[in-house]
Chains A and B, each alone.
Chain A
Amino acid sequence: MGEPIPDIIEAQELKKIFGDVIAVDGIGFTVKKGEVFGFLGPNGAGKTSTMKIIACVSPRTSGAVRVLGMDPDIHPAEIKQQLGVVPQETNLDPDFTCYGNLFTYARYFDIPPNIAHQKAEELLEFVQLQEKRDVSVEKLSGGMKRRLILARALINNPDLLILDEPTIGLDPQARHLIWERLKTLQSQGNTIVLTTHYLDEAARLCDRLVIMDNGKILVEGSPADLVKQYVGNEVVEVEKTEEVLSCLSGKNISFEVIGDSVQIATGSSREVIRILFDQCSPHKVLTRPATLEDVFLKLTGRKLRE
């Protein structure tokens, strides 16, 4: 047997407390080399706090964490030298052009000018911003800014890419381009950790993910396994009527009422539909595959988060 590949991130009992708010409440997880690992959760779940601890910009309150085999409290510069970070907030340097942003950022990593130049040109092409090379970043659209931030995060060939809401506020075209680029990076063996609110994004990109709420990890697994385990294969949606409700209750079929529709998660929709049509006289019926969104809402509830 060869040497075991060390985990890229290992965290145990990780805690972050701000005043009297427990943002991260004793979580543990590991991220393996080459995987795309997602953190999902409602606002205030503790995702960004966790990201900041990993990115060595916010010290943990307690617990243990190792990033690339090192402790963020002890070796922040060494860890950050090998990280690429896409923050939630756009923080490009408005005093520079697109190229200037990449080139200047490369200096912070001690990358020699000739290599920085070459890498900046390559990355502008990678995120399709060659035409905007000499344009001030203030003139870019939201999607272009996010793409440039992704390029900036790659300037040092990072061993670990940390993305906090990478496609927030983007139009579908821009989101798809970012997804495509992340897929490319993944296929090249990059390790990626991301947070997102978009569950389709998580399902599409993540090999493994955790769903967090109130600073704790609720579940961990691959998107497909989580869906199967917590919801089932399919969801049957029926228009809400008194008849349907009393009928389902009578049959001991568990369901959830959302607005004016009734949702029944099931392993086999056929059975449920047969019962519905035979005995409940439903109006509109719709069958769809179960998604991560169903798991998410089931676990974190439907109450609005601020």
Chain B
Amino acid sequence: MIMHNIWSVPRISRRAWKVWHRNLVVFFRTWKVNFFPPLIEAFLYLFAIGMGIGTYVKEIDGIPYINFIAPAILAIAVMNSAFFECTYGSYVRMYYQKSFDAMIATPLSIEDVIAGELLWGATRSVIYVIIMLPVLAAFGVISFPASLLAIPLAFLGGLMFGGIAMCFTAITPSIDTLNYPSFLLITPMALFSGTFFPLTLLPELFQYIALALLPLTHLVAIMRMLTLPAMTGMLILHLAWIIMVTAIFCIVAINLMRRRLIV
């Protein structure tokens, strides 16, 4: 018997794209349901926080407040779409629909299936960003062409949050316990990652914690460099952090899922 360590790099074939394609087909068949949330979300944030709070907070570090939060809206959308797709979405397909069982009876391996789910989670982040960009552009709060780089960044960020999400999906005893990472990780992260106020307002220790442990911090930082635009050499460091964490979590997620499903 071949032993599978959770750190070993899984063998994934191009068949993973078939799983991705299946999810894409289902997504576009119900596109009316799927396209509205990101559109509404963009408007909600812009009105409530951008224009509401923005009336009092005119500028942050010389940047109009609404321009300051625009990249955060994108980054949070990247996080939420991939995270919820690869937790609740994947769990439903795995546990209730038994879709993974059906798929691994074909030439697809469990590694292919999970990789396909992760690729799909990342794609969903890309789709959300593509829907939100025109809205933000219409409000004139992001600059082009640099903001177009938010699209490939969404894929990378989506893969990172999908990988993190899939690790929880692999170990969760039931769908209800997926609420814990949602409320204890995702919600605080959306608030304390330099999203709606700069990280520098936090006590120094918390700044370091945010930079070391909160993936969204890095995504927001790069996103802001792109949409303002205001690129610095830090971009490379943030990007390196994201790539490393993405690789680790995706590998562990696939191995944990294998451990859960292949007995």
Q: List 20 A-B contacts (CB under 8 A).
A: A59-B262, A61-B1, A73-B1, A76-B109, A77-B13, A77-B107, A78-B107, A87-B105, A89-B98, A89-B101, A91-B98, A91-B102, A93-B97, A93-B99, A94-B97, A95-B26, A105-B106, A108-B18, A108-B103, A108-B108
B21: Cβ under 8 A from any A Cβ:
yes
B15: Cβ under 8 A from any A Cβ:
yes
B209: Cβ under 8 A from any A Cβ:
no
Chain A minimum-CB-distance residue to B30 = A95
B104: Cβ under 8 A from any A Cβ:
yes
> In the complex, what's the smallest C-beta–C-beta distance from B24 to chain A, in angstroms?
11
Chain B minimum-CB-distance residue to A59 = B1
Q: How far is the CA of A58 from the CA of B29 in the complex (A)?
A: 34
B48: Cβ under 8 A from any A Cβ:
no
Encoded as 1 (CB less than 8 Å from any B CB) or 0, chain A from 59 to 72 comes to 11110000000000
Are B18 and A58 in contact, CB atoms less than 8 angstroms apart? no
Chain B minimum-CB-distance residue to A96 = B26
Are A55 and B263 in contact, CB atoms less than 8 angstroms apart? no
> In the complex, what's the smallest C-beta–C-beta distance from B22 to chain A, in angstroms?
6
Residues of A within 8 A of B (CB): 18, 55, 57-62, 73, 76-78, 80-81, 83, 85, 87, 89-96, 104-105, 107-110, 156
Residue among A58, A80, A83, A96 making CB contact with B262, cutoff 8 Å: A58
Are A80 and B102 in contact, CB atoms less than 8 angstroms apart? no
Q: In the assembled complex, which residues on chain B have CB atoms less than 8 Å from the CB atom of A91?
A: 97-99, 101-102
B138: Cβ under 8 A from any A Cβ:
no
Q: How far is the CA of A107 from the CA of B26 in the complex (A)?
A: 14
Residues of B within 8 A of A (CB): 1-2, 13, 15, 18, 21-22, 25-26, 29, 97-99, 101-109, 262-263
Are A108 and B106 in contact, CB atoms less than 8 angstroms apart? yes
The 9 nearest A-B residue pairs measured at CB: A91-B98, A108-B106, A77-B107, A85-B105, A91-B102, A95-B26, A81-B107, A80-B107, A91-B101
Are B1 and A107 in contact, CB atoms less than 8 angstroms apart? no
Residue among A85, A107, A156 making CB contact with B18, cutoff 8 Å: A107
Chain B minimum-CB-distance residue to A79 = B107
Are A57 and B262 in contact, CB atoms less than 8 angstroms apart? yes
> In the complex, what's the smallest C-beta–C-beta distance from B176 to chain A, in angstroms?
21
> In the complex, what's the smallest C-beta–C-beta distance from B188 to chain A, in angstroms?
33
Are B1 and A104 in contact, CB atoms less than 8 angstroms apart? no
> In the complex, what's the smallest C-beta–C-beta distance from A103 to chain B, in angstroms?
10
Are A60 and B1 in contact, CB atoms less than 8 angstroms apart? yes
Q: In the assembled complex, which residues on chain A have CB atoms less than 8 Å from the CB atom of B104?
A: 57
> In the complex, what's the smallest C-beta–C-beta distance from B90 to chain A, in angstroms?
14
Q: How far is the CA of A83 from the CA of B18 in the complex (A)?
A: 18
Q: How far is the CA of A81 from the CA of B105 in the complex (A)?
A: 9
> In the complex, what's the smallest C-beta–C-beta distance from A95 to chain B, in angstroms?
5
> In the complex, what's the smallest C-beta–C-beta distance from B19 to chain A, in angstroms?
8
Interface centre among B13, B99, B106 (most CB of A within 10 A): B106
Q: How far is the CA of A80 from the CA of B22 in the complex (A)?
A: 19
Q: In the assembled complex, which residues on chain B have CB atoms less than 8 Å from the CB atom of A59?
A: 1-2, 262
Interface centre among B18, B26, B102 (most CB of A within 10 A): B102
Residue among B2, B18, B102, B262 making CB contact with A92, cutoff 8 Å: B102
> In the complex, what's the smallest C-beta–C-beta distance from A11 to chain B, in angstroms?
16
Chain A minimum-CB-distance residue to B100 = A91
> In the complex, what's the smallest C-beta–C-beta distance from B120 to chain A, in angstroms?
13
Q: Do A104 and B13 contact each other (CB < 8 Å), given the known contacts A57-B262, A91-B101, A93-B99?
A: no
Q: In the assembled complex, which residues on chain B have CB atoms less than 8 Å from the CB atom of A96?
A: 26
Interface centre among B21, B22, B262 (most CB of A within 10 A): B22
> In the complex, what's the smallest C-beta–C-beta distance from B79 to chain A, in angstroms?
25
Q: Do A73 and B102 contact each other (CB < 8 Å), given the known contacts A81-B107, A107-B22?
A: no
